Amino acid sequence: MGVLESIDRLDREFLRAVYELADKRAKSNISFAEVRTKVGHSEDEAEQACDFWTDRGIVEWTSLGHIALTHLGLRRAQRLAERGWRPPIPF
């Protein structure tokens, strides 16, 4: 598995955990530590995935140690959930 594939998988796992812990709602504060525990990755890996999604406006930091899905993030997560959390098929 290549580096990009593993990053994509981790990013999807992170977003899925946020989506599920937020009860599939935008703007629902959840603990970053709880997300990290749910995905079962190191703190560095979880922070990398969080940075990936915050840079894209999908997740936002709401307070110290807490994050939430944005409305855009909710739509993205819903689309991925509909596809069974599989990555898009490359052309």
Range of the structural domain that residue 8 is part of: 3-82
Number of domains composing the chain: 1
- In this prediction, residue 5 carries a pLDDT of 44
Residue at 64 is within a domain: yes
Residue at 89 is within a domain: no
In 3-state terms, what secondary structure has residue 63?
Answer: strand
CATH at 64? 1.10.10.10
Assign residue 68 a region: left if phi > 0, alpha if psi is -120 to 50, beta otherwise?
Answer: beta
Give the C-alpha separation, 17 to 30, whole Å: 10
Residue at 30 is within a domain: yes
Give the C-alpha separation, 54 to 15, whole Å: 11
pTM for this predicted structure: 0.87
The confidence band for 89, taking pLDDT boundaries of 50, 70 and 90, is low
Residues constituting the chain:
91
Residue type, 14: F
Q: What is the pLDDT of residues 39-85, one digit of tens each?
A: 998 999 999 999 999 999 999 999 999 999 999 999 999 999 998 98
- In this prediction, residue 88 carries a pLDDT of 66
Residue at 90 is within a domain: no
